[in-house]
Structure 1
Amino acid sequence: MDNNQNIQPTESGYAPVNGLQLYYEVYGEGKPLVLLHGSYLTIPLNWSTFIPLLAKDRRVIATEMQGHGRTRDTTREFSYEAMADDVSGLLKHLKLDQADIMGYSMGGCLAFQVAVRHPEQVRRLVVLSGTYKHDGW
């Protein structure tokens, strides 16, 4: 089955949010869907097989979080809360009032925090293999 694995973003770049340059890519058109990768992953490692399918009828926005892929690390500590605020900043940078948020593993935990911290920006939430508290891991 050919899913057009070589799909190219219609837009990509860096969003200046919360003291870092957050790398992102945009594919397709339609209702926005933000994809949040797992720990130690990048957009292509986590989402390359899914983006062509999802971008057929969605505006897919994929990002690489602090210290992952093309987004450099900063001196701030890693936290789901800070990265959730980065996602909120990315939506503002892209002039989007609301989006569906989907995250895998670390990205799932992060997606949950986006919904908790910025509920007005989340239309629907999809958490894949994520937890909501460390002691229940």
Structure 2
Amino acid sequence: MPKAQAGDIEIWFERQGEGPPLLFISGTGGDLRVKPNVFDGPLAKTFDLLAYDQRGLGQTSKPDVAYTMADYADDAARLLDHVGWDQALVVGVSFGGMVAQELVLRHPSRVKRLVLACTSPGGAGGASFPFHEIEHMERTERAKHLIPISDTRRDAAWAAGHRDFYDQLVQMGVADPFADEPGHAMGARRQLEARRHHDTWDRLPQIACPVLVAGGRFDGIALPQTQERLAARIPGARLAMFDGGHMFMIQDRAAIPAMVAFLLEG
């Protein structure tokens, strides 16, 4: 069973592929049981890809205590210890990008090159959309609320003209096959609590490894202007914007090849 003892928790992880070691850190609510996942994409064809369920999620432990962003970063470092990687390439997506910022700041020697995708620094640099403020919504209402935020092109007029696709997006947003598992709702809530306090803004100039900041031009969750501020704050960071919203990595076919090219430079 692929579990790593990491301090007070057990982390469920999976590993696949050959090539340079790459740690992938997923976004809010990430669960490797939900398919397709990162192992079904191109990264596993180029890298020795390591991905995991973060604390409170999926098949990883769900302690009913307050979580911090430092906890999430230290979990990632302990997972690297478990698989024997002194250093790795890192891709952090959305919430995973917040974790990746903490990881490179708390454990700078562990990160060789870093991609921060559709994420935010918090603080004076700007936060991502406050998911904790809509946590009370019923699932269908929440899914409909997020569609025009996730991609700002998908307004009411777009929805009226693309009814079948809109309904499909709603169903995707509502689906949660593991909602009734013990600790599921609590773990998700704990993640959002940690997320709302994320703030690396004042520490970002300390990052010394090569960084690519990538975002979607129509992302209403991690705003384009926030990507610009994030990249400008990290010494030497590059900024790449793509045609898409918060899911630009699957909306713009140029996105992942650009990330792969950056990761393979070093």
- Partners of 1:113 and 1:47 lie apart in 2 by 27
Q: Is the 8 A contact 1:34 1:99 kept in 2?
A: yes
Q: Which amino acid aligns with 2:31?
A: T
Aligned counterpart in structure 2 of residue 103 of structure 1, from 89, 92, 101: 92
- TM-score w.r.t. the length of structure 1 is 0.83
> What's the offset of the Cα at 1:85?
0.3
Where do 5+ consecutive residues of structure 2 fail to align? Answer: 128-266
Instruction: Please say which structure displays the higher CA radius of gyration.
Output: 2
Q: Where do 1:6-85 residues align within 5 Å?
A: 13-43=2-32, 45=34, 48=37, 51-85=40-74
Contact in 2 for aligned 1:104/1:128 (Cα 8 Å)? yes
Q: Deviations over 1:9-49 (max 9, x none)?
A: xxx61100011001100001111111111111223548625
Give the conservation status (yes or no) of the 8 Å contact 1:99–1:121: yes
Instruction: Give, in whole Å, the separation in 1 of the partners of 2:73 and 2:92.
Output: 11
Distance change in 2, residues 1:46/1:62 (3 Å): farther
2:25 and 2:38 mapped to 1: Cα distance? 14
**1:87 correspondence with 2:76:** yes
> If each structure's helix is expressed as a fraction of its own residues, which one has the higher value?
2
Does structure 2 conserve the Cα–Cα contact (< 8 Å) formed by 1:14 and 1:21? yes
Change (3 A) 1:134 1:69: farther
- CA distance 1:46–1:103, change in 2 (3 Å): farther
What SS does structure 1 have at the residue aligned with 2:119?
coil
Given the superposition, is the C-alpha separation of residues 46 and 110 from structure 1 closer, same or farther in structure 2, using an over 3 Å criterion? Answer: farther
Say whether the 8 Å CA contact 2:16–2:39 is kept in structure 1.
Answer: no
* Residue 119 (structure 1) aligned with residue 108 (structure 2): yes
Counterparts of 2:6 and 2:76 in 1: how far apart (Å)? 9
**CA RMSD of the aligned region, Å?**
1.9
Higher fraction of strand:
1
Kindly indicate whether the alpha-carbon contact (under 8 Å) linking 2:33 and 2:58 is maintained by their aligned counterparts in 1: no
Whole-angstrom distance in 1 between the partners of 2:72 and 2:36? 19
Cα distance in 2 for partners of 1:109, 1:46 equals: 23
Paired residues, number: 126
| Equivalent position SS for 1:111 | helix
Identify if the C-alpha distance between structure 1 residues 49 and 34 changes in structure 2 by more than 3 Å, giving closer, same or farther: closer
Determine the C-alpha separation between the residues in 1 that align with 2:42 and 2:79: 23
Comparing both chains, which one has the higher relative contact order based on Cα–Cα distances under 8 Å and sequence gaps of 6 or more? 1
Give me the whole-angstrom Cα distance separating, in 2, the residues matched to 1:108 and 1:46.
Answer: 21
Percent identity of the aligned residues? 30
8 Å contact from structure 1 (residues 37, 107) kept in 2: yes
